[in-house]
Structure 1
Amino acid sequence: MEKDASAFLGHLAHEMRPRSDQWAGLLVERMRAELPELARHADLAEDALRETADHVGAFLDALEHGRDAAETQAPPAALELARGFAAAGVPLSTLLRTYRLGHAGLLQLLQEQVTRVTDDQPLANAATLLLIETGFAYVDRSSEQVVAAYQEVRDRRVQRRLMITNEASRRIGTTLDTVRTAEELAEVGTDGFADLATVDLLDSLLRDGEQLRPADAPMLRRVAQRSVLDGCPDSPFATDERHVHAPGSVPAEVLATGRPVLLPVGPADAPSWLVPPDAPRFGFHSVLLLPLYARGATLGLAQFVRHRTPAPFDDDDLLLAQDIAARAALHIDNARRYTHERTTALTLQRSLLPRRPVEQSAVETAARYLPSGSRAGVGGDWYDVIPLSGGRCALVVGDVVGRGLNAAATMGRLRTAVRAFADIDLMPDELLTHLDDVVIRLQREESREDGEISATCLYAVYDPATRLCSLASAGHVPPAVATSAAEAPRAGTAPAGLPALPIGPPLGLGGLPFETVQWELPENSLLALYTDGLVQSRTRDLDASLTLLEDTLASAARSSAPPDEVCERLLAAMLPESPSDDVALLVARTRALDPGHVATLDLPSDPAAVSGARRFAADTLGSWGLDDLSFTTELIVSELVTNAIRYGKPPVHLRLVLDAALTCEVFDANSTAPHMRRARTFDEGGRGLLLVARFAARWGTRHGREGKTIWAEQALPREAAVSEADAPPHL
């Protein structure tokens, strides 16, 4: 009976072969009815018709010639269709279901033909059983080959997506720059994934750094876009253009809900937010819209569009794009936060640094502050120029350890402390000791989460009358000094070099001493104070950097370049690229006070010497053409000398200094500072310092190693002040 059934099916298959195309059409119509998702893939539906016809022909051929169906090879069209399903992202279950529906339908058609052709029931039953057995063997064999072809493409597809994901991880977020991160997202998006990629960020986020909940129609700014077409003609908005999506539009919905959308579009119904005005449709057919969402807030919108790539986006593409967009959004938010904090810290730091050169005659100064170009953030570098009594000037440079707002705020507190200590005329080592105490107190006040507070500082005082420079360092690099070729031989100093300065411990350690050193600087010497960012380099060792610094400064000294130009030369030579650390640079050219503008008198410790001091002051002011100040100056000199003789210790010295102001200084060997007190009505004394404070513009006390100096400044008359301003600095 089996032999008869096989012969019967062979004859039946031969009779049915001319109708194989008709049957294939019927089977495809059934599959379309059962699988409506095939309608979304028109190209696959056409391939399915050809593949079904080949399957019908192959199966009928196996029946007609009695071949073993388990050894039959799947038609090439079936393998191509499987690869097409995989490339289009159609699930494997859908592919296998088409096989089940197609072959079940073919067996049903053949069974109907068996019952129509013969009335022999045993033969019909045997033929049906053999038909089912052969059909299952054919389906098993061909489905194995089809699944293998599908999986091969699927594996390549998965591998490619993994490569895209890895590329996104490697290429997105290489800098802490918001716009550059968005550009990297667009570049990755058009590298084998989409034909057009755009990135829009909330304009409020870019303007003031705030993350706002998107409104129905938030203002967006296109920060990055990239296309496979030159110049992005397929984009309706230009880079950096602001735009608003209408409420109810798909992009507005994505921003409002935070849910991504896969949107199929046709050439005729492409929306206005996708198609450039008055431009060809470019064949848009598939769009992915994804919110850029990070840390609980929406940052913007990313779009991926296909118009040159035939395959539309699928669910797997949507998942891949979501992963890439999520990574990019986190990097964009990091960049936004970093930029906001850096801008805030830089603004704070620049507001705390001197905005313009301080008016004083001891030195001519210029300064630069360069924030680092690294991700580390703004540091705590600072510099300052502080006028002191007697025409002297303090030069300061320091560096707070750490980055960001805390470092900038700490820098401001230390700079204020230095100015306060400088105002009481402390010696450099004493000033650093007090500043060390301030840092230790700040360490106790700050929480551990803020980190240890530490800093370095270099404090120098220059006196134009004696040309002495006094310095002390708290863990800070020593300054560089250069003298002009004309002045160096007279002063007996080298044209350039680093002074032998003992470097004390950084601020914040406590209990360790600092040391002040002094040396004489010729007039027109260049003094460069800087932070270590100027000499640290990835391409040079420290010794080479210091040598380059000395040579550049010496060259500037020989050419008599102004301090502002010296700053530019040093930065150009030392920092050809963006610095990896913050740099503070302060350059000062020293001036010398004309000896004729300094008058000194040694006084005996005798009250009778007061009258001689008054006559000396009157004669000196007469030679300087300042007779108008004679009365007040004699009064100030009388009171200061009287106090020094009565309460101080010998020796006593009187010095008059004519510079931007007239300064009277009285030195004695007693370190006890005087203070003002309110005299009672019938007291004969106690009014001296009150009178000095009344007639002087400023007065104070500065302490030295061997005693103290009480000083008082008076403003020059207008005519004398104008004459002094017109005269050269080294009168």
Structure 2
Amino acid sequence: MRDSERDEGETALLAALFGGAPRCWYVLDRELRLVHLNRAARAVGCLPGEEAIGRRFTDLVPGFPAAELTGLAGEVLATGVHLTGRLLHGHPAAAPDRAQVLSLTLYRLEDGIADGSRVPLGVAVAVEDVTAREAAAERLAVLHEAHQRIGSTLDIATTAQELADVTVPRFADATTVDVLDEAWRAGPAHRGPVAPDHPLRRAAYRTRHGGEVAVRIGGLSTFPFPTPFTQSLADVRPRLVSRLDYGERWLEADPAVTELWRTAGVHSMMAVPFAVHDTVLGLAAYYRYERSEPFDEDDLELARELTARAALSLDKARSYARERTVATALQRYLLPRRAPSVSAVDAAHLYMAGGAGSDWYDIIQLSGARVALVVGDLAGRGVEAAATMGQLRTAVRTLAALDLPPDELLERLDTTTVRLAQDGALVPGGGDPDSELIASCLVLTYDPVSHLCTAARAGHPPPLVLDPAGRVVPFEVPAGPHLGVGGAGFDSATVELEEGSVIALYTNGLVSDRGRDSDASLADLREVLTRQPGRSLQELCDSAVYGLVPQRPDDDAVLLLARTHHLAEENVAAWTFPDDLAVVSQARNAAQRQLLAWGLDDLVYSTQVIVSELVTNAIRYGRGAVQLRLIRDRTLICEVSDQTQTAPHLRQARNTDEGGRGLFIVMQLSAQWGTRYLREGKTIWAEQPLPEPT
């Protein structure tokens, strides 16, 4: 084949390939002037056609950055290194309000010479309109970011702000999120359409450059009727206003907002409701004013998906907040409404509900003017955990009524916890039946007569005790296992306290919930309590909050403070009698003399009957010496102790029975009575109310 024929064949082949290529091809000379373009460029009109021959490359693409184009072509011409898929953003001259993305491929055209070197002839440029492809890719990127960022917490405001942050500025120039007021306040789900006058809370907003908005976060408002917002909430369907016409009637419904939009240059908007199944949560609104291209149907579809993703997270946040609110309300209902007034101690408490845990506390009046202080901590959250806490607190109060010492009370509470958990009556932490029930408890009793304080603990932090001068009182309470372990024993410790000593019981949430070492937090608590020992207990509780809880706790926090009192010696009288029925009359006479000395003449007869019955029973059914003790406190307490642990039995005597009415008589004459077991022996006690002062 001759060279001329080969050249003609190659030229024809190149012409066919160049002319039939789907892309727009342009050939530039060394001065970057157009010398040739293919059929696609003429037909599709990616750039101007034949009339552009001989013009500079920068003249061919009005609306695109000319300097960048010249720089790219010049670089390829000078270096010979080709560029592929270089994206160029701009606006076509024919539609300046529409964004366009072009993909450029540039390579140098060369001619070889005899010595093997290459001579640059110009630059070939392939141009492809990839606006739709890039828009789709950008929408996918926004969706991906939304899935990564939205719903990171179970908080409505945070979730709403995450949606606003994802969409501005990548998708919209401004985004506002409004939720129904009941959803904001963790109320019940709103089913079906939303009335135009329904109040909404501004949950979040974001603008491209921090522009002004009509309603600030947390503000309560309603959408004016009729507008795309009310229509969208009425039928739970999105609304697209592709091009905003400020002459439309609906814009007159809220002139202030309309003027704000006009000033900002808002030209396109969408209103998309938050809906999960038949539950409506609120509305998201998207605006454009800096981006010239209006929202279209593809944008509306993206807004639907973004809002639906956020709606799921908002509904979870609302459900969680509602459950937490119900659980907190239930927990507060199950806790003491107010600290009971007891003579043994002055008490104050701090309770802060957090996101996890069901802590509790209690102050229980015991027989003999004694008092029990209790704190507990149940791992878990929600209504189930609060209900479980209530069951444990009830069990503690029931066992405390038996006047058990703290270690024995915890042993029985541990057994009760195991049985209730096995029967399914107690729900493990978090309501998961496969998880373990983890609870801790500390029980402390104080006797104002003997001044003895006894405590035992089950997996709980030890108490902190300070003397009246603010010095720490050594009180090492042996650590015991958590409740529910079963079969483990508990040990107690006892210390004698001065009057005015301060006892501090607390839960882990107070000292170990902020990333700090619990020992350091406990030292801070000690410093708070010792800084000014004479302050009121409530002031000390508040100071503990200021010093230890600078932020809202993630866990429940309880602090129970008690300042001890001593019962004056003149208010206690005690006698010991031998094991002989002949001493019953002596006991009655001793009680009479003491009551007359106290000025309690009205209680002499009833007390003598109670003393006679209790001392007689102790001598008849017990063994060893019998002790009688009278305590004048807020009630008159009569105690008879012996050295046996045989429990008395109350029964209804028949008319023909000659005996068996002793305890029944005691019950009738007393406000309350019971049995308290000692290490050796028992005490039968009865209380009578003091006469009203005249």
TM superposition score normalised by structure 2: 0.78
The residue that corresponds to 1:55 in the other structure is: 49
Aligned amino acid, residue 510 of structure 1:
G
Tell me by how many angstroms 1:615 deviates.
1.0
What is the CA-CA distance between 1:594 and the residue it aligns to?
0.3
Rounded Cα–Cα distance in structure 2 between residues aligned with 1:156 and 1:364: 72
Q: Are positions 1:473 and 2:445 aligned together?
A: no
The match for 2:78 is none
Q: Is the CA contact (8 Å cut-off) linking 1:258 and 1:293 kept in structure 2?
A: no
How far off is 1:643 after superposition?
A: 0.3
Give the Cα separation in 2 of the matches to 1:157 and 1:277: 30
Q: 2: distance between equivalents of 1:673 and 1:226?
A: 74
**Gap change, CA 1:266 and 1:561, over 3 Å in 2:** same
216-225 vs 341-350, which moves further: 216-225
Indicate if the aligned counterparts of 1:78 and 1:146 stay in contact, CA closer than 8 A.
no
Matched, 1:209 2:188: yes
Matched ranges for 1:475-494 at <5 A: 475-485=459-469
Matched residue, 1:43: none
User: 1:669 maps to which residue?
Assistant: 643
Report the alpha carbon displacement of residue 562 of structure 1 after superposing the two structures with TM.
1.8
TM-aligned CA deviation for residue 237 of structure 1:
9.8
1-structure distance, mates of 2:484, 2:201: 49
Matched residue SS, 1:518: strand
Please show how residues 64-83 of structure 1 align to structure 2 within 5 Å.
76-77=60-61, 80=64, 83=90
Give 2:154's match in structure 1, choosing from 176, 180, 183. Answer: 176
In the alignment, residue 91 of structure 2 is paired with which amino acid?
G
Q: How far did 1:187 drift?
A: 4.4
For residues 96 and 275 of structure 2, the distance between their equivalents in structure 1, rounded to whole angstroms, comes to 29
Cα distance in 2 between the residues matched to 1:537 and 1:405: 22
How far off is 1:213 after superposition?
A: 1.4
- Matching residue of 1:39: none
Residue by residue over 1:204-241, the C-alpha shift from the partner in whole angstroms, topping out at 9 and shown as x without a partner, is 434523131115657251424444587735x5999633
Which residue, out of 280, 292, 313, partners 1:298? 280
User: What is the aligned partner in structure 1 of residue 584 from structure 2?
Assistant: 610
Match of 2:308 in 1: 326
Q: Secondary structure at the match of 1:496?
A: coil
Tell me, what secondary structure is at the counterpart of 1:508?
coil
Compared CA separation, residues 268 and 714, structure 1 to 2 (3 A): same
Kindly report which structure 2 residues correspond to 1:304-453, keeping only aligned pairs within 5 A, or say none: 304-372=286-354, 377-446=355-424, 449-450=432-433, 451-453=435-437
Determine whether 1:695 maps to 2:669.
yes
| More divergent stretch after superposition (172-181 vs 360-369) | 172-181
Deviations 1:662-691 (Å, cap 9, x if unpaired)? Answer: 000000111111021222223322111111
Secondary structure, counterpart of 2:127 in structure 1? helix
Confirm or deny: 8 A CA contact 2:378 2:439 kept in the other structure.
yes
Whole-angstrom CA distance in 1 between matches of 2:89 and 2:446: 87
The match for 1:454 is: 438
Indicate the SS of the match to 1:592: coil
Q: Give the drift of 1:390.
A: 1.2
Q: Counterpart of 2:534 in 1: which secondary structure?
A: coil
Q: Is the 8 A contact 1:245 1:252 kept in 2?
A: no
Change in 2 beyond 3 A, CA 1:552/1:253:
closer
Shift of 1:394: 0.7
Please state how far the C-alpha of 1:154 moved relative to its aligned partner.
6.7
Other-structure match for 1:17: none
Equivalent residue number for residue 81 of structure 2: none
Question: 1:91: Cα distance to partner?
Answer: 9.0
Gaps of 5+ in 1: 1-30, 36-47, 63-71, 96-140, 489-494, 721-731
SS at match of 1:354: coil
Is 1:271 matched up with 2:250?
yes
Please state how far the C-alpha of 1:278 moved relative to its aligned partner.
7.3
Please, what is the CA RMSD of the aligned residues? 3.5
For 2:27, the equivalent position in structure 1 comes to none
Could you say if the C-alpha distance between residues 189 and 497 of structure 1 is closer, same or farther in structure 2, counting changes exceeding 3 Å? farther
More strand as a share of residues: 2
Per-residue Cα deviation, 1:241-275 (whole angstroms, up to 9, x for no partner): 33256479575246524345353222323732676
Deviation at 1:78, TM superposition (A): 6.9
Q: CA deviation at 1:306?
A: 1.8
In the superposition, relative to structure 1, how do residues 590 and 237 fare at CA in structure 2: closer, same or farther (>3 Å)? closer
Kept in 1: contact 2:89–2:100 (CA 8 A): no
Deviation at 1:636, TM superposition (A): 0.6
Q: 2 CA distance for matches of 1:549 and 1:706?
A: 39
Is the CA contact (8 Å cut-off) linking 2:323 and 2:382 kept in structure 1? yes
Q: Per the alignment, do residues 254 and 344 of structure 1 end up closer, same or farther by CA in structure 2, a change over 3 Å counting? A: closer
- How far apart, CA to CA, are the structure 2 residues paired with 1:656 and 1:274? 80
Identify which of 232, 245, 249 aligns with 2:212.
Answer: 232
1:525-536 to 2 correspondences below 5 Å = 525-536=501-512
Q: Larger radius of gyration, structure 1 or 2? A: 1
The answer to whether the Cα contact below 8 Å between 1:697 and 1:713 also exists between their aligned partners in 2 is yes
- Residue 5 of structure 1: aligned partner: none
Name 1:681's counterpart in structure 2. Answer: 655
Shift, 1:360, TM fit: 1.0
Q: Is the 8 A contact 2:90 2:101 kept in 1?
A: no
In 2, distance between residues paired with 1:332 and 1:707?
Answer: 63
Q: Distance in 1 between matches of 2:455 and 2:191?
A: 52
Matches within 5 A, 1:122-133: none
How far the C-alpha of 1:551 sits from its partner, in A, is 3.0
Q: Quote the offset at 1:369 in angstroms.
A: 0.8
Check if 1:243 corresponds to 2:232.
no
**Corresponding residue of 1:146:** 127
Residues 684-725 of structure 1: per-residue CA shift (max 9 Å, x gap): 2211111111111111111111111000001111118xxxxx
Look up the match of 2:678: 704
Residue ranges of structure 2 left out of the alignment (5+ in a row)? 1-42, 65-87, 104-122
The answer as to whether partners of 2:232 and 2:271 remain within 8 angstroms in 1 is no
Does residue 553 (structure 1) correspond to residue 560 (structure 2)? The answer is: no
Aligned counterpart in structure 1 of residue 493 of structure 2, from 517, 521, 533: 517
* Aligned mates of 1:508, 1:82 — CA distance in 2: 67
Deviation at 1:530, TM superposition (A): 0.7
Which residue of structure 2 lines up, in the alignment, with residue 108 of structure 1? Answer: none
Point out the more displaced range, 701-710 or 420-429: 420-429
Residues 135-182 of structure 1, C-alpha deviation per residue, up to 9 Å, x if partnerless? xxxxxx99x6331xx33x777766765665565456544543323432
Counterparts in 2 of 1:169 and 1:270: CA distance versus 1, 3 Å: farther
Q: Size of the alignment, in residue pairs? A: 600
Match of residue 185 from structure 1: 163
Distance verdict in 2 for CA 1:458–1:618, change over 3 Å: same
Task: Determine what percentage of the aligned residue pairs are the same residue.
Answer: 42
Structure-1 residue corresponding to 2:557: 583
Closer, same or farther: CA 461–274 of 1 in aligned 2, 3 Å: same
Instruction: Report the Cα distance in structure 2 between the residues aligned to 1:663 and 1:642, rounded to whole angstroms.
Output: 18
